[in-house]
Amino acid sequence: MLEVNAPYDRSVITQLPTSDKASLEKAISTAHAYFKNQKQWLPVYKRIEILEKIAVIMEERTEKLITDAAREGGKPYTDSKVEVLRAINGVKLAVQCLSGFHGEEIPMGLTKASEGRMAFTRREPIGVVASVSAFNHPVNLIIHQTVPAIAVGAPFIVKPASATPISCLNLMEIFREAGLPEEVGVAHLCDRDSAGFLVTDPRINYLSFIGSGEVGWKLRSQVAPGTRCGLEHGGVAPVIVFDDADIDAMIPQLVKGGFYHAGQVCVSVQCVFAPKGNARDIADRIAEKAKNLVVGDPLDPKTEVGPIITDWELNRVGEWVQEAVKDGAQLLCGGENHSATCYKPTVLFNPPKNAKVTQHEIFGPVVCVYGYEHPDEALEIINNMPYGFQSALYTQNIDKAFSYGKQLNATAVMINDHTAFRVDWMPFGGRDQSGLGLGGIPYSMHEMSREKMFVFKTPAS
């Protein structure tokens, strides 16, 4: 049995039965048999009908989805509401994307050897998709890891995070009510060993993994030959502030981007580099706002920063902060537990460059500010990190924005906006140790499908 605890008070929400290898074997066999028999495949119009019904039912159950997500995941109610509304829009977006989901004509006749031929491609489902999800966005991540598969016609098996399975089960109930057959999509709650059995099975054609790099890269090394992977990990979400930045506009953005969901976001603002002349002032202003954030029960609409997901993670965040302070970082605010499950929003000034809070994703409510003599110093530190995900530049100079944006090792550069900005139709993913492949509804649809080319030899061409 899996015990699900509320992160805020660690109380037991429910206990749920878990899957063993036998039940996973049955699920894989069923999904694989469905994929191998094209006569069973749901036609596009039927998939659209199902997705449209899913969106309608989700809208009818918005309050339950929000409350369950906030309670089991610890994200404040107001932010969980944004997540659920985004998830509903993501379902609608998949329907919209299907109208442009197609192959293309491949030109022939460009050489004598290709004369008398015509060719085109079409996109087909990749096969069985195994989706392993994370806790921090328990509704929207499941949507991103299942709805693109439904849209393209790929059967899927989804494993939610052990900490937040209720939201996934809520969605699977909605999928079933909307008409999605069980052989097309199921959820399984299982331990790490059983999950390993799922993702390494040779009948799995695509692995979607969201979580720690340590686990994700290990799983990738174990998948069967031919299994494609999409891995979404994290980074330190670096920010470079230039001397011409609009500081007044920037501070609230960095506070939101750094402390949203207690920093438990893969692109949460973590390392802010600013000119030495005003770096301390910037750090103080961030700290002043951080001190006034409401920390507490995620179900209280006034709460802005909720709990850390587990005691282990709470202790780890505290240890990293204390280590940085011991080695010379200046603690401007926070640096201790707010309660038994919450950590105070923390701002550190000039931690050592080799500190864990500088070199690794802290995944907690901690923002570090560093002073630099020249922005190239910040660029060098950032580009020497093993991560590359979303980053940000604050400047009013378009030349600086393009020059440094080009040089940053990142998959996305936000100009005058925080690193945690995301909409669900944009490409989203990391490079280097931060991940592999791209998420975002249309991009996941592409990843969960593959192209087949037809070449006709005919004088009619």
> Catalytic: which of 97, 190, 229, 232?
232
User: Whose structure tokens read 């920010």?
Assistant: 239
Q: Nearest to residue 27, comparing CAs of 183, 222, 256? A: 183
At position 90, the amino acid (one-letter code) is: G
pLDDT score at 411: 97
User: Any idea which residue has 């206990």 for tokens?
Assistant: 15
Query: SS3 for 6-70, per residue?
Result: CCCCCCEEEEECCCCHHHHHHHHHHHHHHHHCHHHCCCHHHHHHHHHHHHHHHHHCHHHHHHHHH
pLDDT in tens, 376-387: 999 999 999 999
Angstrom distances, CA of residue 138 to CA of 66, 133, 151, 445: 10, 8, 20, 20
H/E element, 409: none
- Compute the average pLDDT of residues 142-155: 98
Residues near 177 by beta carbon (within 8 Å), at least 6 away in sequence: 53, 57
Given 266, 333, 342, 368, the catalytic residue: 266
- For 301-345, how does the pLDDT look when each residue is reduced to its tens digit (9 = 90+)? 999 999 999 999 999 999 999 999 999 999 999 999 999 999 999
Which pair of tokens denotes residue 458?
A: 């005919």
Superfamily of the domain at 2-233+434-457: Aldehyde Dehydrogenase; Chain A, domain 1 (3.40.605.10)
The whole-number pLDDT of residue 196 equals: 86
| C-alpha torsion 181→185→187→188, nearest 10 | 100
Say if CB 411 and CB 443 are below 8 A apart: no
Q: What H or E segment, with its residue span, contains residue 114?
A: none
* Amino acid symbol at 170: N
Rounded Cα–Cα distance for residues 290 and 365 (Å): 9
What digits encode the pLDDT tens for the residues 250-275?
Answer: 999 999 999 999 999 999 999 999 99
DSSP codes, 159-218: E--TT-HHHHHHHHHHHHHTT--TTTEEE----HHHHHHHHH-TTEEEEEEES-HHHHHH
All CATH 3.40.309.10 domain ranges of the chain, comma separated, are 239-415
pLDDT at 459: 84
Thinking of the domain 239-415, which architecture would CATH place it in? 3-Layer(aba) Sandwich (3.40)
**Contacts of 46 by beta carbon, 8 Å cutoff, 6+ apart:** 179
* pLDDT exceeds 90 at position 395: yes
Contact, 432 vs 411, CB < 8 A?
A: no
Euclidean distance between CA atoms 107 and 317, whole angstroms? 56
Task: Please report which confidence band the pLDDT of residue 188 belongs to, taking 50, 70 and 90 as the band edges.
Answer: very high
Question: Of 193-197, 277-281, 361-365, 426-430, which gets the smallest average pLDDT?
Answer: 193-197
Residues 6 or more apart from 33 whose CB is under 8 A from it? 183
Q: DSSP readout, 418-444?
A: -TT---TTS-B--EETTEES-BSHHHH
Given a cut of 80, whether residue 461 has pLDDT beyond it is no
Q: What one-character DSSP code corresponds to residue 163? A: T
Q: Has 232 been annotated as catalytic? A: yes
- Banded model confidence at residue 193, pLDDT cuts 50, 70, 90: confident
Contact between 358 and 328 under an 8 Å Cβ cutoff? The reply is no
Number of neighbouring beta carbons within 10 Å of residue 66:
23
Q: Where in the chain are all domains bearing CATH 3.40.605.10?
A: 2-233+434-457
Per-residue pLDDT tens over the stretch 202-211: 999 999 999 9
Residue 351: predicted pLDDT: 98
Could you give the CA distance from residue 259 to residue 304 in angstroms, rounded to a whole number? 8
Task: Give pLDDT tens digits for 51-85.
Answer: 999 999 999 999 999 999 999 999 999 999 999 99
- Confirm whether 124 is a catalytic residue: no
Q: How far apart are CA 298 and CA 13, in angstroms?
A: 15
Read off the pLDDT of each residue in 351-357 and give the average, rounded to a whole number.
96
Residue pLDDT, tens place only, 17-41: 999 999 999 999 999 999 999 999 9
Instruction: Judge contact between 18 and 1, C-beta under 8 A.
Output: yes
